Chains A and B, each alone.
Chain A
Amino acid sequence: DAGVIQSPRHEVTEMGQEVTLRCKPISGHNSLFWYRQTMMRGLELLIYFNNNVPIDDSGMPEDRFSAKMPNASFSTLKIQPSEPRDSAVYFCASRWRAGTDTQYFGPGTRLTVL
């Protein structure tokens, strides 16, 4: 079975540019999460969706960040404009909201903003 798919795996961009990260959750999962991981702050939850609806975006650092989930099989995280402090690894995770609620993570996108 295919796991969570993220693209691109690596992104290098210049400050001020728009960055779009993509995620395809595991088929059948009904919750999707976006995390950011840095050495200083560890793993931070940015936003999550249940049944394609954003439930909690309190972790989104500022208005430059936005996320969408137009359907059950696709989500985007957009940063516009990007800044050097946005450099991090961004993970997408999905789960079936029942049972153990185990979240399965994608491989991550390593973002570098110059």
Chain B
Amino acid sequence: AQKITQTQPGMFVQEKEAVTLDCTYDTSDPSYGLFWYKQPSSGEMIFLIYQGSYDQQNATEGRYSLNFQKARKSANLVISASQLGDSAMYFCAMREAMNYGGSQGNLIFGKGTKLSVKP
């Protein structure tokens, strides 16, 4: 069963507007972490933001915020005031508890969403 689902293969947003990238996850572990990474066309994987399952508040990092809805098992990334440089692939990832099922806290990645920012 897919553990991380990103249902939007591609999205367009107008420059300076906000955009939400969807991510749903599946786990029975009460302790987990959720991550978002950005991969521009140059290829590197850039860490953006982290949300822990026990965190009371949604994570924010500059223009990035994570809309964490635990009951719905969703962890959507919100980018405010989009810039042309935000055009990239965005990956959602989950880390289950350390030593859970032998996973040792490895990351499970979604298939990604390609965001294109229009001028």
Question: Interface digits, B30-68 against A, CB 8 Å rule (1 contact, 0 not)?
Answer: 000101010000011111001010000000000000000
Contacts known (A43-B91, A56-B102); A108 close to B109, Cβ less than 8 A = no
Contact between A97 and B105, CB atoms less than 8 A apart: yes
Contact between B45 and A91, CB atoms less than 8 A apart: yes
Residues of B within 8 A of A105 (CB): 37, 44-47
Contact between A108 and B44, CB atoms less than 8 A apart: yes
Q: A104 CA to B38 CA in the complex, in Å?
A: 12
- Chain B contact patch, size range: 20 to 34
Q: A102 CA to B49 CA in the complex, in Å?
A: 9
Contacts known (A107-B44, A108-B43); A42 close to B112, Cβ less than 8 A = yes
The closest CB in chain A to the CB of B45 belongs to A105
CB distance from B34 to the nearest CB of A (A): 10
Contacts known (A42-B109, A101-B98); A110 close to B47, Cβ less than 8 A = no
Contact between A107 and B105, CB atoms less than 8 A apart: no
Residues of A within 8 A of B109 (CB): 42-43
The closest CB in chain A to the CB of B55 belongs to A100
Would you call A45 an interface residue if the criterion is a C-beta within 8 Å of the partner chain's C-beta atoms? yes
Q: A45 CA to B45 CA in the complex, in Å?
A: 14
The closest CB in chain B to the CB of A89 belongs to B43
Would you call A12 an interface residue if the criterion is a C-beta within 8 Å of the partner chain's C-beta atoms? no
Q: A103 CA to B36 CA in the complex, in Å?
A: 11
Question: Interface digits, A37-68 against B, CB 8 Å rule (1 contact, 0 not)?
Answer: 00000110100101000011000000000000
Contacts known (A100-B50, A102-B35); A45 close to B44, Cβ less than 8 A = no
The closest CB in chain A to the CB of B110 belongs to A42
A-B contact pairs, 25 of them (CB 8 A): A42-B109, A42-B111, A43-B91, A43-B109, A48-B106, A50-B104, A55-B104, A56-B104, A89-B43, A91-B45, A97-B105, A100-B50, A100-B52, A101-B95, A101-B105, A102-B35, A102-B47, A103-B35, A105-B37, A105-B45, A106-B44, A107-B43, A108-B43, A108-B44, A108-B45
